[in-house]
Amino acid sequence: MTRGGKPVGAACQTRPVLRVGLTGGIGSGKSTVAARFAELGAVVVDADRIAREVVAPGTEGLAEVVAEFGERVLAPDGSLDRAALAAVVFADEAARQRLNAIVHPRVGRRTGELMAAAPADAVVVYDVPLLVENRMAAGFHLAVVVDAPVEERVRRLVTARGMAEADARARIAAQADDEQRRAVADVWLDNSGEPARVHAQVDALWARRLRPYEENVRLRRCPERGAPRVVPPDPSWPAQAERLLARLRVAAGDRALRVDHIGSTAVPGLAAKDVIDIQVTVASLADADALAEPFADAGFPGLPAFDRDTPHVDVDPDPEHWRKRTHASADPGRWANVHLRVVGSPGWRYALLFPAWLRADHAAREEYERLKRRLAEEHGNRTIPEYGDAKDPWFVAASARAEEWAARAGWAPDPT
């Protein structure tokens, strides 16, 4: 594979269901969206319903809650008095943590059972209010956030649930804010209007992204991608990359020494193809190979044909030292390439050096952008690897300049 080449497709064996985390603030209309997903054929797992089930009358969960907080949290019929329990834990962080220690493991076990029981070709939508607060987003293939303006949410809570306005505002304030939700949201659904509007958004998401994504994950393949097209810089690229990095860190575990956003989209202000490139640093190619299945399960199937970078002979002429493994996103809504390189290898170093150099050298950044635009025009009807091959001479020549900058700046990559 060439350094600039963008892998375009692969197919393999079958495996796990697509997992979608669905969340939104209280009063946002998340339940409306969950119901629509169910109508379309998704397997909807409702975290709130499970949380009620695990503390239903006669369960060990309820007995443990009563042992911890006393019979004051029981209703006259012996069921859990949720309002009474909320009054105990709402303003007491230690009490809330004790409650979570009782409920969350039981919810987790039951959730796992329901997801495991889903059909092989299912899209599982996990409807969970505290996805952001509990830092769960990286465990899903996609995170979907349902949103509505605060005033509309207050109105819904007061009129539909009979909640006092002060209570509604306190509940909203106690949850994650919009900025925190946007940080994890792969998809943002606007539910400020009539249900038909958000239904249309859900229908489009299901047909254009979720169903194809599920099939790609199950069949271990990447969607076909179009010809290279350079677009203006997108300030959201780093945030998009961070969501992918988080999923890869979870999938890789200890085998990833570090995970980095690399390539053109990691350079602010640089026009680029709308492709997120990521480097996963591993101790050996054996470790990279051990990650093939976990990455495919997480939505990043392997591309066996792309197993080495083009050597820079002035740096290291041995092609064996430029070997790597490559995966790509199965998500039709987000093109991303994942390069697994061994720590200390020349390709690993250059992948980290190149964006650092361009971020620091404005003239080099402009020069590279002019090259990208010219080649994109010349290679508009050719394959992605051909476009990458055409960039290689510039990359090779630029490596000496990048190394000179590194020496002057005292730049050196941290292996971990």
**Annotated binding-site residue? 264:** no
CA 154/CA 236 separation, integer angstroms: 30
How many whole angstroms from its chain centre is CA 223? Answer: 17
CA 373/CA 361 separation, integer angstroms: 19
Which amino acid is it at 16? P
Which amino acid is it at 124? V
**Annotated binding-site residue? 14:** no
Per residue, the 3-state secondary structure of 232-276, as one string, reads CCCCCHHHHHHHHHHHHHHHHHHHCCEEEEECHHHCCCCCEECCE
**Annotated binding-site residue? 28:** yes
Least Cα distance to 192 among 24, 22, 20 occurs for 24
CB-based burial label for 224 (10 Å; 0-12, 13-18, 19+): exposed
Least Cα distance to 23 among 51, 56, 45 occurs for 45
**Annotated binding-site residue? 236:** no
> For residue 381, what are the contacts with CB-CB under 8 A and spacing of at least 6?
227
CB-based burial label for 200 (10 Å; 0-12, 13-18, 19+): exposed
CB 386 within 8 A of CB 227: no
Q: Which long-range contacts (CB under 8 A, 24 or more apart) does 151-159 make?
A: 152/27, 152/192, 153/25, 153/26, 153/27, 153/28, 154/27, 156/27, 156/29, 157/26, 157/27
**Annotated binding-site residue? 345:** no
**Annotated binding-site residue? 32:** yes
Q: Which residues are annotated as a binding site for ATP?
A: 27-32
Q: Which residues are annotated as a binding site?
A: 27-32
